[in-house]
Chains A and B, each alone.
Chain A
Amino acid sequence: MELPLLEETRCSRCTDCVAVCPTNCLSMRGATPFLIRPTDCISCGLCVLVCPSAALSLAPQ
C-alpha cells in the first residue's frame, strides 16, 4: 500500500491535491494537506501528478 508523502519545505498551499483526490481522503490542516482518512486512499497518484511544486510523492507504508 502506498500513501502520499509530503515535503513540507515545498508545499505552496495551493490545495489542488485536496481538490483532485477522488476519494476525498485529503483535507487541509493549517498550512498543509493532511491525510484525514488514510484507509480510503487508493494510491491513484492524482495528488502527486497535480502538485505544482513537486511536494508530493507516493511512498510504500
Chain B
Amino acid sequence: MSADESSNPPAKRQRRLAKTYRWQAFFERCAEPLFVLDRRRRLRYVNRAWETLTGLAAEQAHVLVCRRSRPVTADDSAEDILAHAMTPPPDVLRGVSGRVRRLLPNRQAAARWWEVEFWPLLQEGEQGGHIILGRIRPMQAVELVRDHALSEKLVNLRQRRLERYGLEAWTSSAPAMRRLVEQVRLASQVNTPVLLVGEVGTGKQTLARTIHAQSARRDGACVVLDCEHLPPAAVAALLAGEGNGHEGLTSIYLREPAFLPRDVQMLLAERLTRGSAEGPRILAGCATPPAQAVREGRLLDELACALGTLILEVPPLRQRVNDLPDLVQRLLERACAGRETRVTNLSADAWTILRSYAWPGNVRELYTVLRDACARANGEQIRVSDLPAALRRAVQREQAPPRSTEGPLPLEQLLEEAERRLIQLALQRAGGRKARAARLLSIPRPRLWRRMVKLGIADTEKESDAEAEE
C-alpha cells in the first residue's frame, strides 16, 4: 500500500475501493471475453465471458503463463494451446497495442481461430513494465474458409499489412480532406463502385485499399491492377474470372481503366450496370477527370457512367500544406521502417524547402524525396544538404550553374583516362590474359602491351597462361 493511501481516512478509501469494484463489475458484465496479464505475463484476471468461451474456471486459469510464441499443434495440452493464444506479440511488450489471429488446433473438431487484441498499460514505479489487457473475438466460419491453409504467421502478416490502411492516416484540417474521409467511411459501408479522381501521387490506390480494409470485405483479397502497365489480355482474363474465378477476391482496384481495351471496358460496364452483389467490388482511379478521357475517346462513356455512382475527389498535396507536419512524420516512419537509426525530424531550412515546393508529384514525390533523404542523413535529422538539388533549385529559384562551356576539357588527359579504364575493363573480362584482352579491344597484342606500359597498367598474366594463349 502506498504512503498516500495509508494517510487517507478509512471512509475515503472505502469509497475508492467501492468504485474499483464497480469497474470490475463492468468487466464482469462485458459480453466479450477479457483477460489481464501481469508484468510477467501471468494470467491475473479473466471475466465471465472468458470462462464461458474457454470452459475453464477463473481459479484454474491463474496457472497460465502466456509466454509461448512457438506455434502449437493438436498434440499440445489444452493449457499450452490457450497460453499460446493469449501470448502477446513483441510489439505489445514494447508498449504498442496490437491485434493478432491465433489458431487453436483441435484433434476432435475443426480448428478454431481467435482474433486477440492486446492493450499494454504502462505501470508506475522503477520496475516499469506493462500489464496487458486483452480481448478475444472468436472468428466466424465464413472468415475461416479464406484463411485456413495459410499458416498462422502468414495470417498475421496479412493482418499487419491490412492495419497499415487505417483512417488515421488521413486526418486533416482541410475541409476537402474531411469530406473525403467521410466519403471513404461511406464507401466502406456500401458495395457500389467507387471512382477516385486526383492527380498522380495523391494516394488514390492507398485510399482504395483503405476502403477495402475498413469494409466487411476485408477478409478477402484486394487486387490492384495497373491497367496501363499490365498485358491487356491478362487483365481481361482476371476481370472475367478465368482460372480460379474470383474466389477469395473481394475488391478490385483498376488503376487508369481508360487503358483497358474497348471490349473489356464494355464487359465491365455491363457487369457494373447489372449490379449483382456477388463478385468483387470494383474501385477505379483516374488522374484526369473521366469526362476528359471520354471526350478523347479513351474511356467508354458507359464505363464512365457505371463507375460514376460514387466519385471521390482527392486533393493535390499543395492544397494540404497544413497537413505536412503529420504527413511527413508518418512518411518518415514508413521510410525508416527497415533501418536501425530512425530519422525523426528535419532542420528548419529543410522544412522551408518542403513547404515552399509545389510538389507536382504530390505525396508519392514527397515520400520518395524523404526516403532518399533518410538514406543520406547522418543521424536523426534531415538537413538541406540531404535534399535533392533539383528541389532546392525549384524553391530558391537558383540558377543552375551554366553548362561548363568555359571549363577546361583537357583532351589528352581525358582520352588517356578513358583508354586506361577500357584496357583495365578488357583485362578484367579476359581474366588477365593479354591476347584475349587485345581481341576484345580489337587491337594487335603488341599495341596493347605498349599502351599498358605507357599508362602504367600492371601485367598480372602468368607465363603459363600466356603460353596457353599462343
Contacts and interface: CB of A to CB of B under 8 A. Distances in A.
- Are A and B direct contacts in the complex by CB distance below 8 Å? yes
Interface of A: 8-16, 22, 30-32, 42-46, 49-50, 52-53
A44 B400 contact: no
A8 B372 contact: yes
B40 interface: no
B401 A42 contact: no
A52 B404 contact: yes
Contacts of A16: 403-404
A22 B388 CA distance: 27
Contact of B389 (A10, A22, A44): A10
Interface residues of B, number: 22
A8 B371 CA distance: 13
Contact of B401 (A12, A31, A44, A46): A12
18 contacts: A8-B389, A9-B376, A9-B385, A9-B389, A10-B389, A13-B393, A14-B400, A14-B403, A15-B403, A22-B418, A30-B390, A31-B390, A32-B390, A42-B421, A43-B421, A44-B418, A49-B417, A50-B414
A9 B383 CA distance: 11
B385 A42 contact: no
Contacts of B404: 14, 16, 50, 52
Nearest to A31: B390
A43 B390 CA distance: 26
A10 B407 CA distance: 18
A12 B400 CA distance: 6
A39 B401 CA distance: 31
A23 B388 CA distance: 27
A43 B425 CA distance: 8
B326 to A, nearest CB: 26
A5 B389 CA distance: 15
B421 A11 contact: no
Contacts of A11: 388-390
Nearest to B415: A46
Nearest to B372: A8
Contact of A46 (B376, B393, B402, B418): B418
